[in-house]
C-alpha cells in the first residue's frame, strides 16, 4: 500500500468533483481526485462520434456554472473562453413562424405581438424575482427544519429571507402560491402564445420526470433561472474545453487528478473510512473520501448496505432516479435549414405546452414519445473544429425517453426512437434526413451505462420538491456528511442538484472545511 | 388451502394446540395474542402459577412470530441486524437479543436459534418482515415468516426435566441453558427442544410441525401426570415472568415502530438491555445512535425492578420522588407468590434509577369494596431477577 500523501480522496472528476477539489486544496487539504474515465469532466465532455465529427457528448449548454468557483479558481486564466455568453433561443415552428428570445431568458422577444410581449415581460420579471429568492439557497448546506440557523448558513438563509421580504407582501404571497404550482397553469393564466408557452413548459421539465401539468414543475423553472439569471453560455471548444480549463485551474491549487482510476470499493475498519480500492486491486489509504458520483451507488455499492443502518438503506433505495432524456448526435454534409432559423441559437421544438404534456404521457407508460420535444445546439455553427469544413454537427437533447422501456431496449426500439426524433426534425427542417452522414443515439439506458447516471437521471436523483434541500439526496445525508465518519457526498445527487455547475461540490467543501 | 379471501370470517386464528386448550379452558377465558386466540387462564391462576414454580406447566407459544433466516450471509446479516454478537454463537445455541432502528430505538426483542452454520430462527412478539427484508439488502440471505409452520409449547417448572425423561428424552439431561437439541419423543417423532423460557425456572421449549402438535400435547400430559403437569394461561405466566424480571414488548417498552409520540421510543440502555449492545462487533443498526447517546449522555430513562411495601399490586402506578416529583411509572407489577414480595418493573427518569435512595414512592389506588384508598407506598430499586433459583441452571437438572 503506498504511503498516504493525501488526506482527501474525491471520487469523480465531474464539475462537482473538480470544484470540491479546488476549494479543499485552497483550504489546505491534500487532495487526490480519482476519475474512472480517461479524462476529467464527467458530463462536460466533447468527443468524436464519427470520423471528423465532434460534439458535446452529454451536457451541451451552460446555465448554472457556480460563480464562487469561477472567481476563486479562475478557469478563465487557464484557458476558458466563452464562445457565446448569452445564447438566444429560437422556438421552431413547422410553418416558419419562429419565435426568438434574446438576452437573459428572453429579455427581448421581438416576435411577440405587443400585448403578449407585455404579458411576457411581466411574467418573466416575476419568475426572475422568485428565482432570486432561491439563489442564496444554492450556496448553503441545507438547513435542517427545526434546528434553526446552522453555523455559516445563517447569512445565506438571511439573504433568502431578505430576498423574500424584498418581494413585498403581495409578491411574497404570489411566490408562496406558485411554489407547488405547475408550469402549464402559470403560462395558461399569464400568456397566450403557444410557442412561448411551449418553451416554458420545455425548460421547466428538461431533465425531469415531469410534464408541464405535473405539480411543482414551475419549481424547476425557477431552479433553472436561479443559476445564471437565464443566460445560456457555451464555451469555446465545447464542454470538453471547459472541463480542461477547470481541471488546469484545480491542478494549479495543488490537487492531483488521476484518470482511469475507477474506485470499486470504499474501505472501512468497521467504524470509519480507511481508504479506497481501485479496479485492478490497488488500495489507497486515506481517512476522508468525498464521493461525487451517484449517492446510491456510493452507499449501497461502493460502501455496501452492510455498513449503514437499514432506515438509511431504505431511504437511499427509494431515491427516485428516472431519466427521461436521450441524446442524438448528427453529422451533416451541409448546414441544415430550419426554415430560416439561426443555427447559432438554441433551437427548441416544443410547439405548445400541450405538446410537451402529450410527449410526457408516453413515458409514464414505459414508452418513448411518438412526437418528442427537443433542444438542438450546433457547435459547428459557432466554431471550426467540430466538423469538416462546410459540414455540421447537431447535438440534440430529446424528451421523453424512458429508462425502462416496456418491451425492452433492443435495436428495433432504438431505431424507432431515432426515427421519431428524425421525423420531428424533418418537419422543421425539410430535407435534413438526406444530409445525415453519420449519427449516434444515446437512449436513456445508454447514458446510464456510459456515464454512471443511475436510471439515466440528469440530476443523479430527480429534482423535485420532495427531493430537495434537507431531503436531498435523502433525509439524514443532506448535509454532505454521511453516518460513516470520513465519508461525504458532493455530487449532483446532493443539494442543490445537477447541471454543469460545481455548486454541490463547492458547498460540500465549505461544510468539510468548517467541520475540520 | 382455504380461500384467503375469507380470512375475516375468523378474525383470530387457532393455534395447533387449540382443540386441547379449548377443552381445558373451562371459564372460556380467551384473549387475542398476535392474531391468535389464547387462554388467559384455565380456571385457577394461583394453581397454574404454582405449577410453574413447584411442578411443571405447559404454555402454548405457537403465536410467537417466527422467521427463518437462512443463507451464506446469515451470520453477517444477523450481526448487522441485532445488538449482540452472532458470529460467536455455537450451532445449537440460543440467544436472547433485540434489534434497533437507525435512531437506536428498540424495535423488538426476541430469541435467536442457530440450527447450523447458515440457518437461524428468530422468534419475537411483533411482525417485522419489511424491516428484516430491507435489512437484507446486500446480504445473501433469505427471510421467511414461518409462524404458521412451527408449533411451540413451553414446558416450565422444577419437574419439567422429569416430564421429558418420562416422555423418552433422558438424553436432555446434558442440555445446558440456551442450548437446543433434536430428540425423538415416542409417538410424536422428532421434536426440537431448547432449554429456554420466560420464567427464570428450569424449563424447555418444544418445537414441532403443527401436524404433530396434538400428539406432543397428549404425550406430555400422559408423561407428566405423576409430575404435576398442567396447562397454564397468560395470567400465570405473566406473574412468573415479572418474578423473572423479563420485559415484554409493548408492555414494558413501546416498539419503536408503534410509538406515535416522539418521546416513547427507547434505546436498549433505557430498558435494561445495555448488556446486549456489542459496540465492537462492527456496524449494526443503531450503533452510531447508541454510541452518541452514551457519549453525549442523552439517555433519559432506565428500567428497574422495584420492591414496594405492602401487598397491593402497583400496576400502572406513577412513581414519585419524595411524594411530589413524578419520576416514572410502573409497567408491570404483581404481588409475587414465590418471593412473597410486592414487586414491579418501572421506567424511571435518570438518574433516579440510581440516586433515589429511599425517596421513591408509588401511588397506588387500592380498591376496597367499591372505594379507592390512595396509598403512597415507599419503594426501593432492587436487582432483577427477583427470583433466580439455582435449578434454573443446574446441568444435569435435578429430578424433582
Ligand atoms: C442527456 C443529458 C443532457 C444533459 N445536458 C445538460 C446541459 O446541457 N447542461 C447542464 O448544465 N447539464 C446537463 N446535464 C446534466 C449534467 O450532465 C449533470 O448533472 C452533471 O454532469 C453532474 O455533474 P457531477 O460532477 O455531479 O457528475 P458527473 O459529471 O456525472 O461526474 C461524475 C464523474 O465520476 C466518474 N465516476 C463514476 N463512477 C466512478 C468511480 N467508481 N470511480 C471513479 N470515478 C467515477 C464519472 O466518470 C464522471 O466523470 C445533462 C444530463 C443528461 C443526462
Interface test with B, best of A269, A274, A300, A310 (most B CBs within 10 A): A310
**Same-domain status, A207 and A127:** yes
> What is the CA(A274)–ligand 1 centre distance, in A?
26
CATH number at residue B69: 3.30.70.1400
Domain range for B43: 7-62+150-232
- Cβ contacts from A onto B, under 8 A: 45
In a domain, A390, yes or no: no
**Same-domain status, A222 and A240:** no
Q: Look at B102 and A270 and tell me if their CB atoms are within 8 Å.
A: no
Q: What is the pLDDT of residue A294?
A: 97
In a domain, A304, yes or no: yes
**Same-domain status, A212 and A247:** no
**Same-domain status, A211 and A286:** no
**What's the whole-number mean pLDDT along residues A197-201?**
98
End-to-end CA distance of chain B: 45
Q: Which residue has the higher pLDDT, A229 or B203?
A: B203
> What is the CA(A405)–ligand 1 centre distance, in A?
22
pLDDT for A16-38, tens place per residue? 999 999 999 999 999 999 999 99
Q: Are B194 and B208 in contact (CB under 8 A)?
A: no
Atom 15 in ligand 1: residue holding the nearest Cα:
A499
CATH number at residue A258: 3.50.50.60
In a domain, B396, yes or no: no
**Same-domain status, B273 and B366:** yes
Domain end call among A201, A228, A255: A228
Interface test with A, best of B79, B136, B288 (most A CBs within 10 A): B288
Q: What is the pLDDT of residue A177?
A: 85
**CA atoms of B389 and B400, how far apart (whole Å):** 14
Give the number of the atom of ligand 1 that is nearest the alpha carbon of residue A41. 49
Peptide bond into B351 cis (omega under 30): yes
**CA atoms of B70 and B140, how far apart (whole Å):** 9
Report DSSP state, residue A299.
Answer: I
**Same-domain status, A218 and A241:** no
Extract the C-alpha cell encoding A62: 451552460
Q: Are A371 and A340 in contact (CB under 8 A)?
A: no
Pairing of strands A82-84, B151-156: unpaired
Give the bridge partners for A273, in sequence order. Answer: A268
Q: Look at A309 and B134 and tell me if their CB atoms are within 8 Å.
A: no
Q: How far is CA A109 from the centre of its chain?
A: 26
Atom 51 in ligand 1: residue holding the nearest Cα:
A458
- Please tell me the distance in Å from B99's CA to the nearest CA on chain A: 11
**Same-domain status, A164 and A184:** yes
Q: Model's pTM, two decimal places? A: 0.93
Residue found under cell 432506565: B302
**Same-domain status, A224 and A241:** no
Q: Which helix (H) or strand (E) holds A177?
A: helix A168-178
Give the number of the atom of ligand 1 that is nearest the alpha carbon of residue A493. 26
Q: Which of B305, B289, B296 is nearest to B347 (CA)?
A: B305
Q: Look at B137 and A313 and tell me if their CB atoms are within 8 Å.
A: yes
Atom 33 in ligand 1: residue holding the nearest Cα:
A12
In a domain, A366, yes or no: no
Does ligand 1 lie within 6 Å of residue A499's CB atom? yes
User: What percentage of chain A exceeds 90 in pLDDT?
Assistant: 84
In a domain, B350, yes or no: yes
Q: Are A185 and A201 in contact (CB under 8 A)?
A: no
In a domain, A100, yes or no: no
Chain A residues bordering chain B (beta-carbon distance below 8 Å): 270-271, 300, 304-314, 317, 476, 483
In a domain, B397, yes or no: no
Query: A9, A11, A12: which to mutate for ligand 1, most atoms within 8 A of CB?
Result: A12
**CA atoms of A87 and A104, how far apart (whole Å):** 9
Q: How far is CA A255 from the centre of its chain?
A: 25
Domain end call among B148, B168, B200: B148
Phi-psi region of A270 (alpha: psi -120 to 50; beta: other; left: phi over 0): left
Report DSSP state, residue B245.
Answer: T
With CA atoms as reference, the chain B residue closest to A483 would be B288
Peptide bond into A473 cis (omega under 30): yes
In a domain, B395, yes or no: no
Q: What are phi and psi of A368, to 5 degrees?
A: -85, 160
> Angle at the Cα of A380 (from A379 to A382), degrees rounded to 5?
70
Q: Which helix (H) or strand (E) holds A468?
A: none
C-alpha distances out from residue A488 to A43, A293, A505, Å: 21, 11, 10
pLDDT at B354 over 80: yes
Q: Is B213 helix (H, G, I), strand (E, B) or coil?
A: helix
**Same-domain status, A144 and A173:** yes
Closest Cβ opposite residue A307 in set B103, B134, B283: B283
In a domain, B398, yes or no: no
**CA atoms of A220 and A182, how far apart (whole Å):** 10
- Please tell me the distance in Å from A37's CA to the nearest CA on chain B: 27
pLDDT for B142-157, tens place per residue? 999 999 999 999 999 9
**Same-domain status, A242 and A223:** no
Q: Which residue has the higher pLDDT, B5 or B218?
A: B218
Extract the C-alpha cell encoding A15: 464539475
Extract the C-alpha cell encoding A279: 479496479
Radius of gyration of chain A (CA): 22
Closest Cβ opposite residue A310 in set B134, B282, B288: B134
Closest Cβ opposite residue A310 in set B76, B282, B285: B285
Residues of B in contact with A146 (CB under 8 A): none
Pairing of strands A289-291, A8-11: parallel
**Same-domain status, B51 and B169:** yes
Q: What is the pLDDT of residue A256?
A: 98
- Please tell me the distance in Å from B286's CA to the nearest CA on chain A: 7
In a domain, B340, yes or no: yes
pLDDT for A397-444, tens place per residue? 999 999 999 999 999 999 999 999 999 999 999 999 999 999 999 999
Q: Are A282 and A110 in contact (CB under 8 A)?
A: no
Q: What is the pLDDT of residue A146?
A: 67
**Same-domain status, A190 and A131:** yes
**Same-domain status, B228 and B363:** no
Please give the sequence-ordered ranges of beta strands (E in DSSP) within A436-480, or none if there are none.
436-442
> Angle at the Cα of B234 (from B230 to B237), degrees rounded to 5?
70
Residues of B in contact with A309 (CB under 8 A): 101-102, 283, 285-288
Interface test with A, best of B133, B135, B286, B287 (most A CBs within 10 A): B135
In a domain, B377, yes or no: yes
Closest Cβ opposite residue B283 in set A270, A314, A317: A270
Residues of A in contact with B108 (CB under 8 A): none
- Please tell me the distance in Å from A442's CA to the nearest CA on chain B: 30
**Same-domain status, B279 and B378:** yes
Domain end call among B175, B200, B232: B232
Phi-psi region of B200 (alpha: psi -120 to 50; beta: other; left: phi over 0): left
**Same-domain status, B98 and B199:** no
**Same-domain status, A485 and A509:** yes
Atom 49 in ligand 1: residue holding the nearest Cα:
A42
Q: What is the mean pLDDT of chain A?
A: 94
Peptide bond into B396 cis (omega under 30): yes
Lowest-pLDDT range of A154-168, A178-192, A355-369, A449-463: A154-168
Q: Look at A483 and B135 and tell me if their CB atoms are within 8 Å.
A: no
In a domain, A259, yes or no: yes
Does ligand 1 lie within 6 Å of residue A15's CB atom? yes
- Please tell me the distance in Å from B73's CA to the nearest CA on chain A: 11
Who contacts B397 (Cβ-Cβ below 8 Å, separation ≥6)?
B160, B161, B173, B202, B391
**What ipTM, to 2 d.p.?**
0.91
C-alpha distances out from residue A206 to A323, A373, A399, A475, B302, Å: 10, 10, 8, 25, 54
Residue found under cell 420522588: B321
Give the number of the atom of ligand 1 that is nearest the alpha carbon of residue A19. 25
C-alpha distances out from residue B51 to B202, B229, B338, Å: 12, 7, 11
Domain end call among A228, A256, A287: A228
Q: How many domains does chain B have?
A: 3
**Same-domain status, A240 and A223:** no
pLDDT for A117-152, tens place per residue? 999 999 999 999 999 888 888 999 988 876 654 555
Q: Which helix (H) or strand (E) holds B239?
A: helix B234-244
**Same-domain status, B22 and B156:** yes
> What is the CA(A199)–ligand 1 centre distance, in A?
24
Q: What is the pLDDT of residue A228?
A: 82
Which pLDDT band, with edges at 50, 70 and 90, does A230 fall under?
confident
In a domain, A60, yes or no: no
pLDDT for B372-389, tens place per residue? 999 999 999 999 999 999
**Same-domain status, B31 and B176:** yes
**Same-domain status, B175 and B304:** no
Atom 12 in ligand 1: residue holding the nearest Cα:
A499
Domain end call among A228, A248, A266: A228
Give the bridge partners for B170, in sequence order. Answer: none
Q: What are phi and psi of B30, to 5 degrees?
A: -110, 150
Phi-psi region of B196 (alpha: psi -120 to 50; beta: other; left: phi over 0): beta
- Please tell me the distance in Å from A85's CA to the nearest CA on chain B: 47
**What's the whole-number mean pLDDT along residues A472-492?**
96
**CA atoms of A66 and A228, how far apart (whole Å):** 9
Please enumerate, as own/partner, the contacts of A378-385 that have beta carbons within 8 Å and a separation of 24 or more: A378/A343, A378/A344, A379/A46, A379/A54, A379/A55, A379/A56, A379/A60, A379/A234, A379/A238, A381/A335, A381/A343, A381/A344, A382/A83, A382/A84, A382/A234, A382/A344, A383/A83, A383/A236, A383/A237, A385/A54, A385/A237
Q: What is the pLDDT of residue B7?
A: 81
**Same-domain status, B156 and B175:** yes
Q: Which of B384, B382, B389 is nearest to B360 (CA)?
A: B382
pLDDT at A1 over 50: no
Pairing of strands A436-442, A46-50: unpaired
- Classify residue B113 as exposed, middle or buried by CB count within 10 Å of its CB (0-12, 13-18, 19+): buried
In a domain, A22, yes or no: yes
In a domain, A302, yes or no: yes
**CA atoms of A275 and A269, how far apart (whole Å):** 9
- Classify residue A303 as exposed, middle or buried by CB count within 10 Å of its CB (0-12, 13-18, 19+): buried
User: What percentage of chain B exceeds 70 in pLDDT?
Assistant: 100
Q: What is the pLDDT of residue A380?
A: 98
- Please tell me the distance in Å from A285's CA to the nearest CA on chain B: 20
Does ligand 1 lie within 6 Å of residue A293's CB atom? yes
Domain range for A213: 110-228
Q: Look at A310 and B76 and tell me if their CB atoms are within 8 Å.
A: no
Extract the C-alpha cell encoding B261: 409520540
Q: Which of B15, B394, B47, B17 is nearest to B203 (CA)?
A: B394
Does ligand 1 lie within 6 Å of residue A498's CB atom? yes
Q: How many domains does chain A have?
A: 2
**Same-domain status, B173 and B207:** yes
Q: What are phi and psi of A80, to 5 degrees?
A: -80, 120
Residues of A in contact with B283 (CB under 8 A): 270-271, 306-309
With CA atoms as reference, the chain B residue closest to A299 would be B138
Q: What is the pLDDT of residue B1?
A: 52
**Same-domain status, B81 and B91:** yes
pLDDT for A207-222, tens place per residue? 999 999 999 899 889 9
Q: With the C-alpha atoms ordered A202, A208, A209, A210, is the resulting torsion angle positive or negative?
A: negative
**Same-domain status, B289 and B218:** no
Q: What is the pLDDT of residue A136?
A: 87
In a domain, B348, yes or no: yes
CATH number at residue B209: 3.30.1360.120
Amino acid at each position: 500500500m503506498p504511503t498516504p500523501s493525501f488526506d482527501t480522496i474525491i471520487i469523480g472528476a465531474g464539475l462537482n468533483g473538480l470544484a470540491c477539489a479546488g476549494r479543499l486544496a485552497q483550504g489546505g487539504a491534500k487532495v487526490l481526485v480519482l476519475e474512472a474515465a480517461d479524462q476529467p469532466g464527467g458530463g462536460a465532455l466533447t468527443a468524436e462520434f464519427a470520423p471528423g465529427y465532434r460534439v458535446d457528448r452529454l451536457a451541451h449548454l451552460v446555465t448554472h456554472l457556480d460563480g464562487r468557483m469561477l472567481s476563486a479558481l479562475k478557469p478563465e486564466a487557464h484557458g476558458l473562453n466563452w464562445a457565446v455568453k448569452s445564447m438566444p433561443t429560437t422556438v421552431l415552428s413547422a410553418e416558419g413562424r419562429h419565435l426568438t428570445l434574446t438576452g437573459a431568458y428572453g429579455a427581448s422577444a421581438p416576435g411577440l405581438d405587443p400585448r403578449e410581449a407585455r404579458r411576457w415581460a411581466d411574467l418573466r420579471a416575476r419568475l426572475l424575482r422568485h428565482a432570486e429568492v432561491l439563489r442564496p439557497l444554492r450556496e448553503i448546506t441545507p438547513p435542517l427544519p427545526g434546528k434553526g440557523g446552522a453555523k455559516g448558513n445563517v447569512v445565506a438563509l438571511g439573504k433568502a429571507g431578505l430576498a423574500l421580504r424584498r418581494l413585498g407582501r403581495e409578491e411574497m404571497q404570489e411566490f408562496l402560491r406558485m411554489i407547488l404550482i405547475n408550469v402549464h397553469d402559470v403560462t395558461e393564466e399569464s400568456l397566450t402564445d403557444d410557442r412561448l408557452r411551449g418553451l416554458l413548459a420545455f425548460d421547466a421539465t428538461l431533465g425531469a420526470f415531469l410534464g408541464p401539468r405535473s405539480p411543482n414543475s414551475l419549481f424547476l423553472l425557477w431552479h433553472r433561472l436561479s443559476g445564471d439569471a437565464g443566460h445560456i453560455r457555451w464555451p469555446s471548444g465545447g464542454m470538453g474545453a471547459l472541463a480542461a480549463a477547470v481541471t488546469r485551474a484545480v491542478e494549479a491549487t495543488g490537487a492531483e487528478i488521476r484518470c482511469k482510476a475507477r474506485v470499486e470499493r470504499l474501505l472501512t475498519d468497521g467504524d470509519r473510512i480507511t481508504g479506497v480500492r481501485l479496479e485492478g486491486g490497488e488500495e489507497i489509504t486515506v481517512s476522508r473520501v468525498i464521493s461525487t458520483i451517484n449517492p446510491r451507488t456510493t452507499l449501497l455499492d461502493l460502501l455496501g448496505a452492510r455498513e449503514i443502518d437499514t432506515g438509511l438503506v431504505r431511504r437511499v433505495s427509494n431515491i427516485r432516479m428516472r431519466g427521461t432524456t436521450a441524446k442524438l448526435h448528427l453529422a451533416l454534409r451541409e448546414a441544415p435549414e430550419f426554415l430560416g432559423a439561426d443555427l447559432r441559437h438554441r433551437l427548441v421544438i416544443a410547439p405548445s405546452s400541450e405538446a410537451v404534456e402529450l410527449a410526457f404521457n408516453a413515458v409514464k407508460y414505459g414508452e418513448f414519445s411518438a412526437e418528442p420535444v427537443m433542444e438542438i445546439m450546433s457547435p459547428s455553427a459557432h466554431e471550426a473544429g467540430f466538423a469538416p469544413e462546410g459540414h455540421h454537427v447537431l447535438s440534440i437533447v430529446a424528451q421523453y425517453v424512458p429508462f425502462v422501456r416496456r418491451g425492452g431496449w433492443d435495436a428495433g426500439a432504438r431505431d424507432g426512437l431515432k426515427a421519431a426524433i428524425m421525423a420531428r426534425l424533418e418537419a422543421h427542417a425539410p430535407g435534413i434526413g438526406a444530409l445525415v452522414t453519420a449519427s449516434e443515439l444515446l437512449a436513456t439506458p445508454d447514458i446510464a451505462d456510459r456515464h454512471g447516471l443511475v436510471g439515466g437521471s440528469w440530476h443523479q436523483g430527480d429534482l423535485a420538491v420532495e427531493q430537495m434541500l434537507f431531503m436531498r439526496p435523502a433525509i439524514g445525508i443532506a448535509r454532505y456528511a454521511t453516518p460513516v465518519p470520513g465519508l461525504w457526498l458532493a455530487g449532483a445527487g446532493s443539494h442543490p442538484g445537477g447541471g454543469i455547475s460545481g455548486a454541490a461540490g463547492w458547498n460540500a467543501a465549505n461544510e468539510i472545511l468548517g467541520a475540520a | 388451502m382455504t380461500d384467503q379471501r375469507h380470512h375475516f370470517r375468523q378474525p383470530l386464528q387457532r393455534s395447533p394446540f387449540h382443540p386441547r386448550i379449548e377443552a381445558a379452558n373451562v371459564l372460556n377465558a380467551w384473549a387475542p395474542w398476535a392474531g391468535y386466540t389464547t387462554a388467559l387462564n384455565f380456571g385457577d391462576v394461583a394453581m397454574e402459577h404454582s405449577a410453574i414454580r413447584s411442578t411443571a406447566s405447559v404454555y402454548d407459544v405457537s403465536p410467537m412470530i417466527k422467521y427463518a433466516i437462512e443463507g451464506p450471509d446469515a451470520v453477517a446479516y444477523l450481526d448487522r441486524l441485532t445488538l449482540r454478537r452472532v458470529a460467536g454463537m455455537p450451532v445449537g445455541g440460543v440467544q436472547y437479543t433485540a434489534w434497533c432502528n437507525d435512531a437506536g430505538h428498540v424495535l423488538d426483542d426476541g430469541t435467536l436459534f442457530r440450527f447450523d452454520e447458515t440457518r437461524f430462527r428468530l422468534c419475537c412478539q411483533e411482525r417485522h418482515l419489511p424491516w428484516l427484508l430491507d435489512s437484507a439488502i446486500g446480504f445473501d440471505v433469505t427471510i421467511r415468516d414461518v409462524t404458521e409452520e412451527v408449533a411451540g409449547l413451553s414446558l416450565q417448572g422444577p419437574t419439567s426435566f422429569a416430564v421429558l425423561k418420562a416422555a423418552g428424552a433422558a438424553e436432555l439431561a446434558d442440555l445446558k441453558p440456551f442450548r437446543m437439541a433434536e430428540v425423538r419423543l415416542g409417538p410424536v417423532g422428532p421434536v426440537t427442544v431448547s432449554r429456554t423460557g420466560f420464567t427464570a425456572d428450569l424449563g424447555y421449549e418444544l418445537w414441532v410441525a403443527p401436524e404433530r402438535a396434538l400428539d406432543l400435547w397428549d404425550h406430555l400430559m400422559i408423561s407428566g401426570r405423576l409430575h404435576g403437569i398442567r396447562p397454564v394461561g397468560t395470567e400465570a405466566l405473566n406473574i412468573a415472568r415479572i418474578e423473572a424480571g423479563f420485559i415484554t414488548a409493548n408492555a414494558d417498552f413501546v416498539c419503536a415502530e408503534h410509538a406515535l409520540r416522539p418521546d416513547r421510543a427507547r434505546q436498549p440502555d433505557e430498558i435494561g438491555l445495555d448488556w446486549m449492545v456489542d459496540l465492537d462487533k462492527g456496524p449494526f443498526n443503531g450503533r452510531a445512535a447508541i454510541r452518541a447517546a452514551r457519549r453525549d449522555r442523552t439517555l433519559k430513562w432506565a428500567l428497574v425492578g422495584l420492591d414496594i411495601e405492602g401487598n397491593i399490586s402497583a400496576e400502572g402506578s406513577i412513581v414519585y420522588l419524595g411524594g411530589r416529583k413524578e419520576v416514572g411509572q410502573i409497567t408491570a407489577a404483581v404481588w409475587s407468590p414465590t418471593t412473597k414480595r410486592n414487586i414491579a418493573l418501572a421506567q424511571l427518569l435518570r438518574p433516579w434509577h440510581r440516586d433515589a435512595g429511599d425517596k421513591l414512592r408509588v401511588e397506588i389506588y387500592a380498591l376496597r369494596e367499591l372505594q379507592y384508598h390512595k396509598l403512597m407506598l415507599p419503594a426501593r430499586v432492587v436487582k432483577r431477577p427477583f427470583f433466580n433459583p439455582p435449578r434454573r441452571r443446574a446441568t444435569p437438572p435435578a429430578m424433582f
